[in-house]
């Protein structure tokens, strides 16, 4: 059952974010954060870094990529925010970028092209995630880690195994970032119901690929207005939102701007949790016993130690229960693939 907090705090969400971005230097909070973006020069990395730079809670923004980050860092450092920018590049400097960070957002890796599945990216992206996660374990053990790199359903398990091997793994601090599915759900539902998408709250559970993405319309706030056919068509659009963008970009990559927005929202939620002032629950793909899948996305309240409360499975209607079964079967396989890769 979803907590009341999940539903009632929806409307204040936008206002909270807006205040965070707009606060003047005189209103600065004391607890501020070093956030590292791994893959900072990429399609997601650049706009994500810009959005983080504009967040008053970020006082140190660390950029890392395989390619040179210096010019990009110099560019960002002219923005009139009280945030220091540090630039690192190359395999050797990943450790320095990660060391001492409060939050590490990993967006390094290949995006897909039309006709490819997210799973197609596994062989290329799994070693990148394994390396970054291992370095977090060794040099920023208490950092919150957000994994954006696809395929999220499998590489989060890779990260967990890499951290265990490197000596320190805290399941409450490792998150597969599925916020874009929530953002899409809020947008598509808001447009359908002719209300501001920021007023929509809906848990999107499961994973981050096709039918593993399970939006729970029965728990939508305000209650969804539309028949079963209409729900089925919006569910489909949320599940294939990524494909829609990949197709439209026609070989020029996948979602970047909407993803950066979603990742900035999730990073902000992590920082509010670290400050002990959690916002509304956010869904993320984490180690979980909510289902038989070892990793599963459900609404989480975030706190100073990461997951403060996993709200577990929301109440589901019969149709959502069927969707859940399909998702769990696929997610078990994805997690097993990640674990096998690290054996
Ligand atoms: N979780 C989600 O909802 C979403 C995930 N994605 C995924 O995010 C990833 C990144 O996407 P884009 O930014 O569009 O790709 P991109 O190709 O534009 O950028 C990736 C960046 O990673 C860097 N990189 C590669 N290997 C690296 C390493 N070992 N260390 C540091 N940096 C490294 C590249 O140099 C590049 O700058 C992809 O895997 C994509 O599928 C994309 C959209 C949504
Ligand atoms: O579709 C992709 O490859 C990128 C992604 O994960 C999304 O947009 O949801």
DSSP 85: E
**Whether 235 and 272 share a structural domain:** yes
In a domain, 291, yes or no: yes
- Would the pLDDT of 3 be above 80? no
208 a catalytic residue: yes
- Cβ < 6 Å from ligand 2: which residues? 111-112, 118, 150, 180, 241-242, 245-246, 254-255
**Whether 171 and 99 share a structural domain:** yes
**Whether 110 and 209 share a structural domain:** no
| Domains: count for the chain | 2
CB 218 within 8 A of CB 317: yes
- Would the pLDDT of 2 be above 70? no
Ligand 1 atom index nearest CA of 112? 41
**Whether 172 and 184 share a structural domain:** no
Strand ranges (DSSP E) for the chain? 33-38, 58-65, 84-89, 103-106, 144-147, 174-176, 204-206, 213-215, 282-287, 295-303, 306-310
Task: Flag whether 71 is marked binding.
Answer: no
**Whether 332 and 197 share a structural domain:** yes
Give the domain-ending residue among 176, 201, 233: 176
- Would the pLDDT of 14 be above 70? no
When pLDDT is averaged across residues 276-284 and rounded to a whole number, the result is: 97
pLDDT band at 158 (very low <50, low <70, confident <90, very high): very high
Q: Are strands 144-147 and 174-176 parallel, antiparallel or unpaired?
A: parallel
pLDDT band at 243 (very low <50, low <70, confident <90, very high): very high
In a domain, 307, yes or no: yes
- Cβ < 6 Å from ligand 1: which residues? 38-39, 41-45, 64-67, 107-112, 121, 125, 128, 148-150, 152, 177, 180, 208, 253-256, 259
User: Cα(214)–Cα(208) distance, rounded to whole angstroms?
Assistant: 9
pLDDT tens-digit map of 31-86 = 789 999 999 999 999 999 999 999 999 999 999 999 999 999 999 999 999 999 99
User: Cα(109)–Cα(33) distance, rounded to whole angstroms?
Assistant: 25
**Whether 185 and 163 share a structural domain:** no
pLDDT at position 31 is: 78
> 242, 252, 283: which to mutate for ligand 2, most atoms within 8 A of CB?
242
When pLDDT is averaged across residues 289-311 and rounded to a whole number, the result is: 98
Task: Flag whether 148 is marked binding.
Answer: yes
**Whether 247 and 160 share a structural domain:** no
pLDDT band at 343 (very low <50, low <70, confident <90, very high): very high
Of all ligands present, the nearest one to the C-alpha of 259 is 1
Helix extents (H) in 10-53: 10-22, 45-53
**Whether 101 and 202 share a structural domain:** no
Ligand 2 geometric centre to CA of 208 (Å): 8
Ligand 2 atom index nearest CA of 112? 3
In a domain, 310, yes or no: yes
CA angle 23, 24, 30 (to 5 degrees): 75
**Whether 139 and 210 share a structural domain:** no
In a domain, 82, yes or no: yes
- Would the pLDDT of 239 be above 70? yes
Task: Flag whether 112 is marked binding.
Answer: yes
Task: Flag whether 317 is marked binding.
Answer: no
In a domain, 239, yes or no: yes
User: Rounded to an integer, what is the distance from CA 268 to the centroid of its chain?
Assistant: 11
Ligand 2 atom index nearest CA of 150? 6
User: Cα(133)–Cα(139) distance, rounded to whole angstroms?
Assistant: 10
Ligand 1 atom index nearest CA of 177? 1
Ligand 1 geometric centre to CA of 113 (Å): 13
Give the domain-ending residue among 142, 158, 176: 176
Average pLDDT, the chain: 93
pTM score of the predicted model: 0.93
Ligand 1 atom index nearest CA of 41? 37
- Would the pLDDT of 92 be above 80? yes
- Of 258, 231, 229, 230, nearest in space to 242 by CA: 258
Of all ligands present, the nearest one to the C-alpha of 241 is 2
**Whether 316 and 207 share a structural domain:** yes
- Would the pLDDT of 174 be above 50? yes
Task: Flag whether 45 is marked binding.
Answer: yes
Q: Which residue's CA is minimally distant from atom 7 of ligand 2?
A: 242
**Whether 98 and 166 share a structural domain:** yes
Q: Which residue's CA is minimally distant from atom 6 of ligand 2?
A: 242
User: Cα(135)–Cα(291) distance, rounded to whole angstroms?
Assistant: 30
CB 109 within 8 A of CB 124: yes
pLDDT at position 30 is: 66
At 320, which CATH number? 3.90.110.10
ipTM, 2 dp: 0.99
pLDDT tens-digit map of 195-226 = 999 999 999 999 999 999 999 999 999 999 99
Which residues constitute the domain of residue 206?
179-342
When pLDDT is averaged across residues 129-153 and rounded to a whole number, the result is: 98
Please give the backbone phi and psi of residue 43, each rounded to the nearest 5 degrees, phi first: -60, -35
In a domain, 55, yes or no: yes
**Whether 75 and 95 share a structural domain:** yes
At 52, which CATH number? 3.40.50.720
Ligand 1 geometric centre to CA of 46 (Å): 11
Give the domain-ending residue among 145, 176, 207: 176
Tokens of 59: 């006082």
What are residue 287's DSSP bridge partners? 295
251 to 218, 248, 257: CA distances (angstroms): 36, 9, 16
The active-site residue out of 64, 139, 208, 311 is: 208
Q: Which residue's CA is minimally distant from atom 9 of ligand 2?
A: 242
User: Cα(150)–Cα(29) distance, rounded to whole angstroms?
Assistant: 34
What are residue 58's DSSP bridge partners? 33
In a domain, 2, yes or no: no
CB 319 within 8 A of CB 304: no
């Amino acid at each position: 059952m979803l907590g009341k907090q999940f539903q009632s705090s929806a409307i204040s969400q936008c206002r909270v974010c807006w205040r965070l971005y707009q606060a003047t230097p005189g209103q600065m909070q004391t607890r501020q954060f070093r956030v590292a973006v791994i893959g900072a020069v990429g399609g997601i990395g650049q706009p994500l870094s810009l959005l983080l730079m504009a967040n008053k809670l970020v006082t140190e923004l660390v950029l890392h990529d395989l390619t040179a980050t210096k010019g990009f860092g110099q560019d960002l450092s002219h923005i009139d925010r009280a945030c220091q920018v540090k630039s690192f590049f190359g395999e050797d400097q990943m450790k320095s970028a990660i060391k001492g960070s409060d939050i590490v957002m990993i967006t390094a890796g290949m995006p897909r092209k039309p006709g490819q599945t997210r799973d197609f990216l596994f062989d290329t992206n799994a070693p990148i995630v394994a390396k970054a996660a291992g370095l977090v374990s060794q040099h920023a053990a208490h950092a919150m880690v957000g994994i954006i790199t696809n395929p999220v359903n499998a590489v989060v398990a890779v990260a967990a195994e890499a951290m265990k091997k490197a000596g320190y793994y805290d399941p409450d601090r490792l998150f597969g970032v599925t916020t874009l599915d929530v953002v899409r759900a809020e947008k598509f539902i808001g447009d359908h119901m002719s209300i501001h998408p920021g007023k929509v709250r809906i848990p999107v559970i499961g994973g981050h690929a096709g039918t593993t993405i399970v939006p729970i319309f029965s728990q939508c706030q305000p209650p969804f207005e539309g028949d079963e056919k209409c729900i089925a068509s919006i569910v489909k659009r949320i599940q294939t939102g990524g494909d829609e963008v990949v197709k439209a970009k026609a070989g020029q990559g996948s979602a970047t701007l909407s993803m950066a927005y979603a990742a900035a929202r999730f990073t902000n939620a992590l920082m509010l949790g670290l400050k002990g002032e959690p916002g509304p629950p956010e869904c993320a793909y984490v180690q979980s016993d909510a289902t038989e899948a070892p990793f599963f996305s459900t609404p989480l309240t975030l706190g100073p130690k990461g997951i403060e409360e996993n709200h577990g499975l929301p109440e589901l209607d019969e149709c959502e229960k069927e969707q859940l079964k399909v998702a769990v079967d696929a997610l078990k396989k994805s997690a097993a693939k990640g674990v096998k890769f690290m054996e």
